[in-house]
Structures are given as structure tokens and as C-alpha cells.
Amino acid sequence: DSGVTQTPKHLITATGQRVTLRCSPRSGDLSVYWYQQSLDQGLQFLIQYYNGEERAKGNILERFSAQQFPDLHSELNLSSLELGDSALYFCASSVSGQEETQYFGPGTRLLVL
């Protein structure tokens, strides 16, 4: 158990819908990262937050957005969902957002039908 929690574990929805994925980092970690794992693209970095502020942005679609709240939990919002958004979405956390270990949650498996 990494100490990073993600909810829900599974999500099934339809094209065009909007969903919210939630992540709680390890106690004491200030930085949260979101990654997407799909069969064709592999593991790709989406976005990073540090203490409530966006720090880095990767291959995140404009239909996707995220935020980190004062209690440090983070939410990833996916809207206008397409079939190709079906993937495993991981949240990771680290202490300071520098070059240290990132600890991964169990992931949210999203299926868009």
C-alpha cells in the first residue's frame, strides 16, 4: 500500500459525458501527478500540482482539467468523453515535487462506451 488513494476504482460511462477522478496523496506529500495508461500510448504524464498550484503540464487534452485543493487532494475532470479516453488513470504523489520518488495509487479504470 503506497498510501495514495484513488476513487473510484472503476468507472463506466458513455461518450459525451463528464467524470471526476479523485486522488488523495500520501500524508505529508505536497505534489500530485496524474498519468494516463493506455494500450497504444503507454504511460503518459498529464499534469502536476504542487501545494495547490499547477507546476507542469504534459500531454493533457483541453477537454481535461485538474485542480489541487487546500487539503492537498486532487481531482481530474474529464469532459466530452470519447471512446479513446478509455484508460487507466494513475495519481502519484511526492514530498516536494522535486526529483524524488513518486508513489502511485491503485488507479481508476475508465471505460467509455
Partner 1 sequence: AQSVTQLGSHVSVSEGALVLLRCNYSSSVPPYLFWYVQYPNQGLQLLLKYTTGATLVKGINGFEAEFKKSETSFHLTKPSAHMSDAAEYFCAVIFSAGNTPLVFGKGTRLSVIA
Residue numbers at the binding site for partner 1 (CB under 8 A): 2, 4, 31, 33, 35, 42-45, 48, 55-56, 58, 90, 92, 94, 97-107
Give 14 or 53: the residue with its C-beta nearer to partner 1: 53
| Shortest reach from residue 106's CB to partner 1, in Å | 4
Pairing of strands 10-13, 108-112: parallel
Give 6 or 112: the residue with its C-beta nearer to partner 1: 6
User: CA quadruple 23, 29, 34, 36: dihedral positive or negative?
Assistant: negative
Q: Identify any residues that bridge with 2 across adjacent strands, giving them in sequence order.
A: none
**Exposure b/e, 58-88, CB count within 10 A at least 16 = b:** eebeeebebebeeebebbbebeebeeebbbe
| Shortest reach from residue 36's CB to partner 1, in Å | 11
| Shortest reach from residue 43's CB to partner 1, in Å | 4
Give 61 or 104: the residue with its C-beta nearer to partner 1: 104
Q: Is 56 helix (H, G, I), strand (E, B) or coil?
A: strand
Give 33 or 64: the residue with its C-beta nearer to partner 1: 33
Residue whose entry in the numeric block shows the C-alpha cell 485543493: 69
| Shortest reach from residue 16's CB to partner 1, in Å | 28
